[in-house]
Structure 1
């Protein structure tokens, strides 16, 4: 037997990594963490395969392309959110309660979704087809659902009349900032690490602060 045959006998023919041993949700969760950490451009199919411990052609075989995998990741992270917002809007009694309920829910959701926050913050600065996808699938439906409430509150003098993108930034910007734990730790070094603090309490404090500045008191 030649040396080459001996090596072949010892090493069965297979890809560098075995087929995926992870369930779908874990595959997508790891994909989300990778895109959030590295950004889309720097996230290669090879790097995704390494982190998923799969063969290099796994992403293309199962999802079609890196772009298709990115869309699957985003759908996994955000697809149920709008149903929750719609439910909150439907069960509220008035516009004040509707807006408060949605913002509190948004901030609580964001407090425990740092990877998605980083991805959204990064993609929102880039004019790309990925931003088009985020806008059509998630950003626009969210804004369309709360815009009638906001318009009525503006007409009632409860919210200042400013351009929609300014209001969008005022509402969503602080929620995305909940992912900035390293900054929080530097600003408040005496406290416990931000990642280990009560995330719900942190979200509620921030949403109360934002709502206090956004909503003027009711006219008597």
Structure 2
């Protein structure tokens, strides 16, 4: 039995002029992701985070410790399923051609449908920082460690060119990161429709087909 008092969500209770936080933890982290993606880490102030979350200016500090700790919680939340999903996908494929094709299609669809995480990854990849170290350790390196044996096997078989690992990384991930560039895509769109109105999976599939045509041509 209860005394009629509403049960709190997993989020912490904010103090000050704001009402108690009744958002689920996932909503807090999603709003944090959107803010970091839009403004960048340096441009995201504690005050702005508090405003967008509708909490007191002490909330992030009290709940997470610091802006950097909150950023790490946001990234870990957004990427928590990435590697397990990739591992399952690779296990379901029958050969290395299929594995690489499946990885690229999957990666581009993820990028197209989560532009906030895509923008954050693109921005942080240009900066030598502890945040990039975190992304590399928790997401980028595990991803590449999973894919590199497939790529090496395809190189040995003469299916793809033998080039340095970072060049292939750019070839695979660069177009995916570009899927976050909606403003320029809107200006280039021949039908004058905003990118948001397009089928995101269809966009991703068209791009992955183009990349794969050059990287891994069909067998003769």
TM-score (norm 2): 0.91
5+ residue gaps in structure 1? 1-13
**Corresponding residue number in structure 2 for 1:105:** 106
Query: Highest CA radius of gyration, 1 or 2?
Result: 1
The CA distance in 1 between the partners of 2:217 and 2:208, in whole Å, is 15
Map of 1:201 onto structure 2: 202
Query: Which position in structure 2 is the counterpart of 1:211?
Result: 212
Match of 2:174 in 1: 173
The answer to whether the 8 A contact 1:121-1:176 is kept is: yes
Is residue 182 of structure 2 the alignment partner of residue 186 of structure 1?
no
CA distance in structure 1 between the partners assigned to 2:218 and 2:30 by the alignment? 42
- 1:1-220 correspondence to structure 2 within 5 Å: 15-218=16-219
How far did 1:147 drift? 0.4
- Please give the alpha-carbon distance, in whole angstroms, between the structure 1 residues aligned to 2:218 and 2:92: 22
What's the offset of the Cα at 1:217?
4.1
Alpha-carbon shift at residue 191 of structure 1 (Å): 3.9
Figure out how many residues of one structure are paired with residues of the other and give that number.
Answer: 206
Q: Provide the rounded CA distance (Å) in 2 between the counterparts of 1:77 and 1:215.
A: 30
Moved more, 180-189 or 78-87: 180-189
Per-residue deviation at 1:189?
4.3
Q: What is the alpha-carbon distance in structure 2 between the residues aligned to residue 81 and residue 103 of structure 1? A: 13
1:190 CA displacement? 2.2
Conserved? CA contact 1:114–1:179, under 8 Å: yes
Give the C-alpha shift of residue 188 in structure 1. 1.6
Runs of 4+ in 1 over 6 A off after TM superposition: none
Distance 1:64 1:20 in 2: 17
SS in 2 for 1:41: helix
* Distance in 2, Cα, partners of 1:217 & 1:103: 15
Structure 2 distance, partners of 1:118, 1:60, is 25
- The answer to whether the 8 A contact 1:158-1:217 is kept is no
Provide TM-score, normalisation by structure 1: 0.91
